[in-house]
Chains A and B, each alone.
Chain A
C-alpha cells in the first residue's frame, strides 16, 4: 500500500514538474517540434499499417457473427465504436510505448551513464526542463494525432475487407460511421490519449533522469 502511495506521489510530483517546467521560459519550442517529429511522424509507418491490419482482421472476424444474427448493417458502427473508443488509443499507445518510449528511456539512461546529464547540470541548465519536459509534451501532442491516423487506417482496412466480401459502397458504409462519430463526440477516447501520452513517457523515464533506475549515476 505504501508503495502504491509512493508511486502515486512520484507520478503527481512528476506531473507538476512537467507543467511548471512547460510554463517557464525558455519554452523549448524547437525541441518539442523535433520530438513530435521523432515520436509522431516517424511512427506513422508503424501505426498506419498496424491500424489497417487490425481493421481488416476485425471486420473479417466480426462479419460472420453479425451476419448470422442479421445484424450486418451494424458492422461499420461496431468497428467505429471499437476503434475510436478502445482499440485506437490502446494499440497506438502500446506501439508508441514500444517504439518511442523505450527509445526515450535508453537515450536518457545513456546520457546519465555518460555524465551528459551531469554536464547539463554543471552548465547551470535544468536538465529536467531541458530533456524531460519537451519529450513529455511531444508525446502528449503526438499520441492523439497518431491515434487518429490509426483509427482512420483501421476504418479503411475494415471497409476494404467488407468491400471484398459484399461489394458495399463507400458511401453506404461511411454513413453509420459518421453518425456514430457525431453521437459519441464527447467520449471518443481522444481525451484519454493525452493521458496515455503522459503515462507512457513516465513509465519509460523511470530508467532515465526522472526515476530511480539502475543506470542512475552515483
Chain B
C-alpha cells in the first residue's frame, strides 16, 4: 500500500500497520511556512509525542490531521483513508474515528458538561436517551467527573476542564486520540493524572494516541515514539533513546529531562 512506503522514513511492517501517516506535508500561512515536507507514521495502538519549540507547527499538525485545515501539499492518511482527498461526507466519516482534546478543552460554554458530551451522541448516533445517559455517565466516571455532569464549563477548574475535554473526545469511542498540550497550565500532579488517562486509552482500549506537548516528563511517560519539529522541519523521529543519541542538538535538548526549563 502506498502509505507503507514513505520516502525517507522507516518502513512499517504489515502486522503493525500505521493508523496515521503524514507524507511530505507542507503548510504555510501567508509568507509563514509552518511545515516543510513533514513525513512520519504512527503504528496502530502506539503513542507518538510531537515535541518542539513554540510556533514550530505542532498544533497545526494535529489540525491538519483532523482536516480542520488543509495542507498545501502532501497526503495525510488516517486508518487507510487519505483525508486530504476525501469529500466532505468522507471527511466527516473519518473524523468520527478521531477524538480531539483541545489545548483549552474548547468546551461549549452554553452547555452543561452532560450536554457537551451528549451533543455528538444525539446528532451522530441512533442511541436512545437512556443509552446516551449511560454512555455519558460511563465516560465521565472514566475521567473522574461522575458527580459534575450538571456543571457548566465556567465552574470547572483547569484540570477538570481538561478531563471534560478528554471525556468529550472519547465519547464517540475513537480509534485515534489527538491531544494538544494536555498538561499545559496544570500542576505536576494533575498533569500526571491526565497522562495516566492517556496511557489508559492506549493500554486498555488499544487507541492510537498523538500528543503535542512541551512537558518532556509526561511525553516520555506516554510516548512510544517522538517527533521533533523545529522551524517547520522534522528534525528527529524515533524512540527517546534514538533521539538522545542523534546528532541534532536541538532535538537532544527538547527530549532531555535534565535540560533546565
Contact = CB atoms under 8 A, between A and B. Distances in A.
Whether chains A and B associate is yes
Nearest to A110: B109
Contacts of A123: 95, 119-120, 124, 168, 172
Nearest to B94: A124
Interface in A106-120: 114-116, 118-120
Contacts of B98: 122
A121 B100 CA distance: 10
A135 to B, nearest CB: 13
B96 interface: yes
A119 B119 contact: no
A125 interface: yes
Contacts of B63: 118
Contacts of B100: 118-119, 122
* From A118, A121, A123, residue with most partner B Cβ within 10 Å: A123
B249 interface: no
Contact of B106 (A118, A124, A125): A118
A122 B66 contact: yes
Contact of B123 (A26, A115, A119, A121): A26
B123 A118 contact: no
Interface string B138-166: 00000000000000000000000000000
A126 B95 CA distance: 12
B123 A125 contact: yes
Given A114-B104, A115-B103, A125 B68 contact: no
A91 B90 CA distance: 46
A122 B107 CA distance: 12
B241 to A, nearest CB: 33
Contacts, number: 53
B29 interface: yes
Interface in B89-136: 92-93, 95-96, 98-100, 102-104, 106-109, 119-120, 123-124
Contact of B29 (A121, A122, A218): A218
A119 B116 CA distance: 11
Contacts of A26: 123
Nearest to B171: A123
Contact of A124 (B29, B92, B104, B108): B92
B146 to A, nearest CB: 22
Contacts of A119: 100, 102, 106-108, 168
A197 to B, nearest CB: 22
Contact of B96 (A114, A115, A120, A124): A124
B124 A125 contact: yes
B119 A116 contact: no
A123 B102 CA distance: 12
A22 B68 CA distance: 23
A125 B95 CA distance: 10
Contact of A115 (B95, B104, B120, B172): B104
B95 A116 contact: no
A124 B66 contact: no
A26 B123 CA distance: 8
Given A26-B123, A116-B109, A218-B29, A122 B104 contact: no
A124 B125 CA distance: 11
Contacts of A116: 106-109
Interface of B: 29, 63, 66, 68-69, 92-93, 95-96, 98-100, 102-104, 106-109, 119-120, 123-124, 168, 172
The 9 A-B pairs at the shortest CB distance, nearest first, are namely: A119-B106, A115-B106, A122-B100, A123-B120, A124-B92, A124-B95, A115-B102, A124-B96, A218-B29
Interface of A: 26, 114-116, 118-126, 218
Given A115-B104, A123-B172, A124-B92, 13 more contacts: A114-B106, A118-B66, A118-B106, A119-B108, A121-B68, A121-B95, A122-B66, A124-B93, A124-B95, A125-B119, A125-B124, A126-B92, A218-B29
